[in-house]
Structure 1
């Protein structure tokens, strides 16, 4: 007796299963989840991701402003070269020098390559910027994906209801909602996003060196703290929220409850390294 192959039986079974057309998104989602016997687990997961996109607001997948690697329109090439190299990003939002809350363009790192041969040449990055794509925080992820595709853009600036920059979202961010985490050679969450070590310059057990991009939740878990992450997500963002806009971040000290934070390394707009001392 001849047995039908598994894939052939599976496709016939799936067609039979789909004869009853779902009437709502939830019914379709349940149908996809019930089809695990016919489809590979990764396929089911991707279908679930696609169906979840309309219910996912872009604010849920964006990189918040406190974690953005950005430039300023009056920056000089020699001053930002280390940012381009260390971040390993290919696209950078450029903020206005007069209105520090507003993004005025997107700079592609590849557009600076012709000028690297002669670093003495003065480069006006305003002449190299691309027009930014703006999307509201409330936009659905599937809508933003369509906009990025239609405009052939890989990055969008997310603005709040007052028109202020609240973050950025990339094509990769949205695709990861469908296919899961996409890691590349520059991803290193353990070393960058969750970097907490005992302070080597202070023998006291209550002093630590903390990467600014460390999530507040991780800081709380490791050091038994209780800082809120309702409004900001990172330790650096927590300090920026407290300090506000200042001209010189490095060396600033912030007292929060029983904790004293000292900014050890920072540039004009971003905190990089922090000393945290429990008093």
Structure 2
């Protein structure tokens, strides 16, 4: 087939495809999937991502509170700088000294530049540098938030639950990734789940598991069938089972046919677990 005749066939096929009139968003998505014969796959993926935003609540896109890298309003400059360097983020939520789940402002890393000059004589006061945070509920639609951030020229919003406590954080990049796919920069890990489950070097047939490992990923990697009600991570599954946090350090919890030993935890969350299949019951 010559290039000209092939092009003509594509145009005729595209016209027939466009003759179908979608009545719902789902119809339009199916129509887009069928258009892969005529359009570049990346183009179809982006269009599908745009159509999916209205159906995607913010809670499904945000970074949950335990994973948020933040500062506190009583932090000094020398306490803040190591956090900036290690995380390489450009914006940070600043939490209240009284309510550790209450965001009082947002700090832009660039606003600290004048305080680290060799001849700097300006006294440091974190409160004078804070920007007004944007708050959104967990149930907000991602497309509405994208429009809000664009209108307010803001790159980050604080997600709050029904009681007003901080549930997580969402950025403009998070929303754009829902449309164009993962945006990797020089600070991103190649695979964020690559090291969340590794063989335990000290215990045979056991694995070291990060508490924030998604349940679905755990099931897929270790051929498990764990389920949780209202929780997404292995650590959340243990908390759902026990209702405890710091008291669990060193304890072993059985869930289905698995044993989880808590290796590390703080006052707010679990950190590291050892997982192994529970020994089969011996019937005498």
- TM-score in terms of structure 1 length: 0.78
Contact in 1 for aligned 2:137/2:162 (Cα 8 Å): yes
Contact in 1 for aligned 2:260/2:273 (Cα 8 Å): no
Contact in 2 for aligned 1:194/1:214 (Cα 8 Å): no
Taking the TM superposition and a 5 Å limit, the aligned residue runs for 1:102-251 are 102-117=102-117, 123-190=124-191, 194-198=195-199, 203-205=202-204, 209-211=208-210, 213-219=212-218, 221-222=220-221, 230-234=229-233
Q: What CA deviation, in whole Å up to 9, does each residue of 1:88-109 have, x standing for no partner?
A: 1111111111111211111111
The 1:216/1:111 distance shift into structure 2, 3 A limit, reads farther
Q: Following the alignment from structure 1 to structure 2, what is the Cα–Cα distance between the partners of residues 102 and 27?
A: 42
Contact in 2 for aligned 1:199/1:275 (Cα 8 Å): no
Q: What CA deviation, in whole Å up to 9, does each residue of 1:180-232 have, x standing for no partner?
A: 111111111546763344556xx333665555554344445556777655545
Residue 272 of structure 2 corresponds to 274
Q: Following the alignment from structure 1 to structure 2, what is the Cα–Cα distance between the partners of residues 274 and 3?
A: 59
Q: CA RMSD in A?
A: 3.6
Q: Following the alignment from structure 2 to structure 1, what is the Cα–Cα distance between the partners of residues 36 and 275?
A: 51
The 1:71/1:269 distance shift into structure 2, 3 A limit, reads farther
Contact in 1 for aligned 2:101/2:165 (Cα 8 Å): yes
Q: Following the alignment from structure 2 to structure 1, what is the Cα–Cα distance between the partners of residues 206 and 84?
A: 31
Q: What CA deviation, in whole Å up to 9, does each residue of 1:50-106 have, x standing for no partner?
A: 111111111111111111111111111212322211111111111111111211111
Q: Following the alignment from structure 2 to structure 1, what is the Cα–Cα distance between the partners of residues 146 and 64?
A: 18
The 1:54/1:191 distance shift into structure 2, 3 A limit, reads closer
Shift of 1:175: 0.7
Residue 253 of structure 2 corresponds to 256
Q: What CA deviation, in whole Å up to 9, does each residue of 1:106-160 have, x standing for no partner?
A: 1111111222236997633222111110111111110000001001011111111
Q: Find runs of 4+ consecutive structure 1 residues off by over 2 angstroms.
A: 2-38, 116-124, 189-200, 203-244, 251-260, 268-271, 273-279
The 1:94/1:17 distance shift into structure 2, 3 A limit, reads same
Q: What CA deviation, in whole Å up to 9, does each residue of 1:206-264 have, x standing for no partner?
A: 665555554344445556777655545445666788555x7xx9x95454333322328
Q: Following the alignment from structure 1 to structure 2, what is the Cα–Cα distance between the partners of residues 238 and 123?
A: 43
Residue 34 of structure 2 corresponds to 34
The 1:275/1:37 distance shift into structure 2, 3 A limit, reads closer
Q: Following the alignment from structure 1 to structure 2, what is the Cα–Cα distance between the partners of residues 20 and 225?
A: 44
Q: Following the alignment from structure 1 to structure 2, what is the Cα–Cα distance between the partners of residues 224 and 22?
A: 40
1:135 is paired with a residue whose SS is strand
Aligned residues: 269
Which runs of 5 or more residues in structure 2 are unaligned? 279-284
Contact in 2 for aligned 1:96/1:104 (Cα 8 Å): yes
**Higher mean C-alpha deviation, range 111-120 or range 222-231:** 222-231
- TM-score in terms of structure 2 length: 0.76
**Higher mean C-alpha deviation, range 127-136 or range 219-228:** 219-228
